[in-house]
Structure 1
Amino acid sequence: MLNAGVIGYGYWGPNLVRNFMECEKSLVLKVSDLDPARLALCKSRYPSIQTTGDYREILNDPAIDAVVIATPVGTHYPLALEALQAGKHVWVEKPFTSTVEQGETLLNEAEKRGLKIIVDHTFIYTGAVKKIKSLVDEGAFGNIYYYDSVRINLGLFQQDVDVLWDLAVHDFSILHYLFGKKPTGISAIGKSHVAGKPENTAFVSLMYDDNFIAHINANWLSPVKVRQILIGGDKKMAVFNDLEQAEKLKIYDSGLVLDNQEDIRETMIGYRTGDMLAPKIPTTEALKDEVEHFIHCIDTGEEPITSGAMGLEMVRLLCLASESIKQQGAPLEVK
């Protein structure tokens, strides 16, 4: 049985507490938050959980094996470092840290102490993304040309991160998981339309060492909410609409048909439009699978799919994208 302590019971904390409590192999012993009203809400839902305004009570409790951090990004590093130093495994919300150096320090600390870090890139554990991954691995898409994501809505404005760090980070993690390759370059443009607030609209392009290209549209100022990913290959194409209730993923037998490819001047372009398939997607909650995966990795010593090392790579990309915005979209090399 994994005994967990949760720091932060705001927006995402209740979902984490619920899933750790519902898992047969874990239990939440304590929850910490600075807001007494949030603690009262937690206590009303889970009378057995001890609540506190001091997170150190969680770190100092020898009965707690893992600390779950669901707090603003700027607090991830100090809280995670203290948790590791207290001998606790760490679950931390995305993005992992605010800087690359912070992430490297946490990885070194975890390795030195033989502890696990998992970064909550929840989309990786969704049924639709796992299904796309299986199709990519079996070559169903053929040569993959592009990944195009639209992740837009009206709000929710974050106080300590811009729209890239809030929304585009999802696509960085999905790209990494699906295709397993590192971009060679990144370019981003973004603007803030509210004085004193971070960028609320951004467009990111990622270049790779082949013909593959990725583009991300992230926006807090859209009149509609859209969560859609398009993937195009020379055999199949896919549309993942996360807001669809019944058919989140659709696979299309569509594409180009090229004749006379030996002579580029004589190449004829045709179009193939075949059937559409909406595969059955498991309805298990992603957080449930992620909690079970976290416990499994602690028990077996395996590295989590969304490990601290993976989370650090996402922070590297975010930092480069932010720097590109400062340089008016200048393409930057990904090392």
Structure 2
Amino acid sequence: MPLNIGVIGLGVGEAHARAGASHQESVVTYLCDISKERLGQIAAQHPGAATTTDPGAVLCDPAIDVVVIASYDDNHYEQTMIALKNGKHVFVEKPVCIFAHEAKELRNEIERRPGQLFFSNLILRLSARFMRLKELIEQGQLGELYAMEGDYNYGRLSKIIDGWRGQQAFYSIVNGGGVHLIDQMLWLAGERINEVMAYGSNIVTRDTGFRYNDYVSSLLSFRSGLIGKMAANFGCVYPHFHPFRVYGDAGTFINNRGDAELYRSCEQEEKPDLISDSYPGVDKGDLFLNFLDTITGDAKPVVTRDEIFDSMAVCFAIDESVKKGGPVTVEYL
């Protein structure tokens, strides 16, 4: 029997619906969006799928096996909880939820349901360039790592000024964007972050309706002594991009908008190795395919529930540090 998929939210959810329709052991059965116009546009691409503007109709439908939650961020917690309690496998867009107490409640509910798979769309795990970087680190080609630096340069200011993000009761650019870089650092380092120190500002958007920080910079102290630096930069005058640098005692990796570079020498005349693996090189729905393959037993998960909640815990600590104005110990969920 094929997996019956329901998709809630047809912005980025459209990519997940498209991916689900391409999966040989799945069928897109139900589509949901609050916009009737958007719902009609995407439904035309999926003949036979039922449509609704009511998320509850999808979440509580006993025929649905898999739910994609790609609605506005402040709906994720409630919709994920309902889906879990109705026995669904859940693929939720980041952030999984807004607040730490919601994450703890979701984690507890998920732990009670080991037969239900849970993913969040930490899509950079599938970038060929970052997968190559992971190999280089594991092969020891960078030596012992001592520093990582990553920036989430959003480059889409109108989306936070004019879009739904500015209308949320709270919007975190760390949880909504920076989480990708936090996940990358935890994955590449293979260890947890102990403590964070962060500052935020809203210089770019202070005269707009957006009420939250548009820039946050954080220092991250890993257990081994490795130091990380992550900035979520939503106000930048720069195309959407993820600058990323990894420093080891035997080499340095620099992610550029063209080829990445691997430096093995400090000498000016020594040219770096060029790494041309595609970047980002992934579609927004690609991780959903791994999710479906994991359910059917055809693949191992690219990201685990522990890794998802670890990344969230660090993001919550960064936001708390900005609010507190001091260092914060990460409380893992």
Q: TM-score by structure 2 length?
A: 0.86
Deviates more, 1:188-197 or 1:171-180: 188-197
How far apart are 1:280 and its partner, in Å? 3.7
2:308 corresponds to which residue?
311
**Which residue pairs with 2:327 in the alignment?**
331
Equivalent position of 1:229 in the other structure? 244
| Mapping of residues 83-232 of structure 1, within 5 Å | 83-113=83-113, 114-152=115-153, 153-155=155-157, 156-157=159-160, 158-159=165-166, 160=168, 161-193=171-203, 194=206, 197-225=211-239, 226-232=241-247
SS in 2 for 1:295: helix
Contact 1:125/1:287 (CA < 8 Å) preserved in 2? no
User: Which residue pairs with 1:320 in the alignment?
Assistant: 317
- Say whether 1:240 aligns with 2:241: no
Give the Cα–Cα distance (whole angstroms) in 2 for the partners of residues 314 and 130 of structure 1: 18
**Are the structure 2 counterparts of residues 235 and 300 from structure 1 closer, same or farther at C-alpha, using a change threshold of 3 Å?**
same
Aligned to 1:292: 289
Q: Distance in 2 between matches of 1:289 and 1:33?
A: 21
Go from structure 1 to structure 2 and tell me whether the alpha carbon gap of 1:272 and 1:104 turns closer, same or farther (over 3 Å shift). Answer: farther
Q: More strand per residue: 1 or 2?
A: 1
| Amino acid in the other structure paired with 1:205 | L
Corresponding residue of 1:259:
none
Q: Which amino acid in 1 is paired with 2:110?
A: A
How far off is 1:111 after superposition?
Answer: 3.1
Equivalent position of 1:267 in the other structure:
none
Query: Does the 8 A contact of 1:250 with 1:277 survive in 2?
Result: yes
Q: CA deviation at 1:206?
A: 0.4
Distance 2:280 2:219 in 1: 32
CA–CA separation in structure 2 for the residues paired with 1:140 and 1:288:
32
Determine if contact 1:149/1:217 at 8 Å carries over to the other structure: yes
3-state DSSP class of the match of 2:148? Answer: strand
Q: In 2, Cα distance between the equivalents of 1:149 and 1:30?
A: 38
Is there any run of 5+ residues in structure 2 with no aligned partner, and where? Answer: none
Q: For residues 217-238 of structure 1, what are the alpha-carbon distances to aligned partners after superposition, in whole Å with 9 as ceiling and x for unaligned?
A: 2222212124211111122211
Equivalent-residue separation in structure 2 for 1:304 and 1:98 (angstroms): 24
* Bigger-Rg structure (1/2): 1
Preserved contact between residue 254 and residue 272 of structure 1 (Cα < 8 Å): no
What is the CA distance between 1:128 and its match in structure 2? 1.4
> Is contact 1:99-1:315 (8 Å) kept?
no
- Deviations along 1:67-106, one digit per CA (max 9) or x if unpaired, are 0000122211110111011111000111222223322322
Quick check: 1:250 aligned with 2:251?
Answer: no
Distance 1:254 1:167, change over 3 A: farther
Tell me by how many angstroms 1:252 deviates. 2.2
Classify the secondary structure of the residue corresponding to 2:79: helix
Amino acid paired to 1:102: E
Matches of 1:283 and 1:104 in 2, distance apart? 31
User: Is contact 1:236-1:254 (8 Å) kept?
Assistant: yes
4+ aligned runs moved over 6 Å, structure 1: none
TM-score normalised over the length of structure 1? 0.86
Structure 1 runs not aligned, ≥5 long: 256-269
Letter matched to residue 38 of structure 2: R
Give the number of equivalent residue pairs: 315
Kindly state the Cα deviation for residue 289 of structure 1 after the two structures are TM-superposed.
4.2
Offset of residue 287 of structure 1: 4.4
Counting aligned pairs with the same residue, the percent is 24
Structure 1 vs Structure 2 CA RMSD = 2.4
Higher deviation after alignment, 48-57 or 302-311: 302-311
**Alpha carbons 2:221, 2:228 under 8 Å: kept:** yes
Distance 1:301 1:116 in 2: 14
Q: Relative to structure 1, is the Cα distance of residues 275 and 201 closer, same or farther in structure 2, using a 3 angstrom cutoff?
A: closer
Alpha-carbon contact 1:7-1:31 (below 8 Å) kept: yes
Match of 1:80 in 2: 80
